[in-house]
Amino acid sequence: MDQEAVPPHVLIFPLPLQGPVNSMLKLAELLCLSGLHITFLVTDHIHTRLVKYSNIQSRFNGYPGFRLETISDGLPEDHPRLELCLWKSNDVGLPIIYVRTISACCLWVFFCLPKLIESGEIPFTGNDLDTPIKSIPGMEGFFRRRDLPMFCRSGSLSDPNLNLYLPEATENSRAHGLIVNTFDDLEGPILAHIRAFCPNLYTIGPLHSHLKYKLPGQSLSSSNSLWKEDMSCITWLDSQPPKSVLYVSFGSLAVMTKEQYMEFWHGLVDSGSRFLWVIRPDSVTSDPMDIPSELSKGTKERGYIVQWAPQEEVLAHRAVGGFLTHSGWNSTLESVIEGVPMICWPYFLDQQVNSRYVGEVWKLGLDMKDTCDRVIIEKTVRELMEYRKDEFWKSADEMAKYAKQCLMEGGSSYGNLERLVNDIKAM
């Protein structure tokens, strides 16, 4: 049969969470642009929300080789679905390429979990969170217990999350290839370690930004949101001075107590900084919050609150001067490519690792992990937005330049994406 007549068909099945759905839809669009046929498989729940809130249906109409298919996740419609889903790959006799939507540094920590157990460094309990970690090659000297994923703190070898990630090195090296949403200039030394396990590595990140170069003018209007984006915050940002606003968002999964929210609220208002804050309605553990009167004045004067923002557009806005983030990997990369310095308040999974890299290795911001205190929040915001503003903007600018270069012709992610497409076509 004429190979040209039937383009190869790729089945993409993301974890049913906002981050992976977002980045893998971008990957799907890139593969469609290269002439591949794609079936994008999502759960019914994700499908309903994508159809309601994103513009994927109109966007993908332009790709005749794209099909959106659904599958049940077996949960009732009103289930909160906030916990991490477990998954297991089955051998279906087809070539499988894994896509990791977490950082390479966290993936490497997962690969080293057996070694950490063997050396007795995990699991642990107690308060000695500054104890250095010695058994992760490439992270000696700056990596501490508190920078490990939260499940290492449980004190138990039977922790379900620990057991979920324990076989990562063997699982990943069994696949035909491994796609990581990162770029060589950001995580080169760690990628060299991962390559020893998975030689066929495609580093093609920041995934969301390829489309900016391949489809200039269109990418900001491409939304893969599972919530309704409140565009009024862009109008508000338009009226703020350059680099004056701290954008605050803890992603799609983090849940906080009312007390933690109050600490952030006081810290933000007391810092005197302007802020745009995303408060998802399902992100507070107890009853809905009333804004205490002492906060409402400062919030009215300098703040703006939405339930969900067009985040990529916000981070690209000239008024944004910093990002208070939970250090989710998509958020981190979106901030890196726009050159926006970060304050990190990691919540779980890879975020503890990411925030250490942002603060200590890449020098792109400040890591506030394991504290939630209004005085520290105020001080950290002032440091990022005022006292050390120039220093952080300089390093963020530099890294953004590297990120953009790697996406252009001749750049590492550009080349790796081409290699990926050619390899799929040759399968």
Question: Which lies closer to ligand UDP via its Cβ, residue 271 or residue 332?
Answer: 332
- Asked if 29 is part of the footprint of ligand UDP (rule: CB under 6 A), the reply reads no
Residue 379 has φ and ψ, to the nearest 5°, of -65, -45
Of 240 and 331, which has the nearer Cβ to ligand UDP? 331
* Given 22, 182, 219, 355, the residue binding ligand UDP (CB under 6 A): 22
Provide the 10 A C-beta neighbour count for residue 9. Answer: 13
Q: 16, 251, 303, 365: which one contacts ligand UDP (CB under 6 A)?
A: 251
Nearer to ligand UDP, 103 or 135 (CB): 103
331 lies in the binding site for ligand UDP (CB under 6 A): yes
Q: Which is nearer to ligand UDP, 18 or 352 (CB)?
A: 18
Q: Count residues contacting ligand UDP (CB under 6 A)?
A: 19
Residue 283 is a binding residue for ligand UDP (CB under 6 A) = no
Shortest distance (Å) from residue 101 CB to ligand UDP: 7
- Give the full edge-to-edge strand order of the sheet including 97-100: 97-100, 177-180, 201-203
Q: Which is nearer to ligand UDP, 202 or 250 (CB)?
A: 250
- CB-wise, 228 or 363, nearer to ligand UDP? 228
Q: How far is the CB of 273 from ligand UDP (least distance, A)?
A: 19
The Cβ of residue 51 has, within 10 Å, a number of other Cβ atoms equal to: 12
Q: By Cβ distance, which residue is nearest to ligand UDP?
A: 328
Query: Quick one: CA torsion of 228, 232, 238, 239, rounded to 10 degrees?
Result: -150
Region 197-226 residues binding ligand UDP, contact defined as CB under 6 A? 225
**List 309, 364, 368, 406, residue binding ligand UDP (CB under 6 A):** 309
Q: Which residues bind ligand UDP (CB under 6 A)?
A: 17-19, 22, 225, 249, 251-253, 278, 308-309, 311-312, 328-331, 334
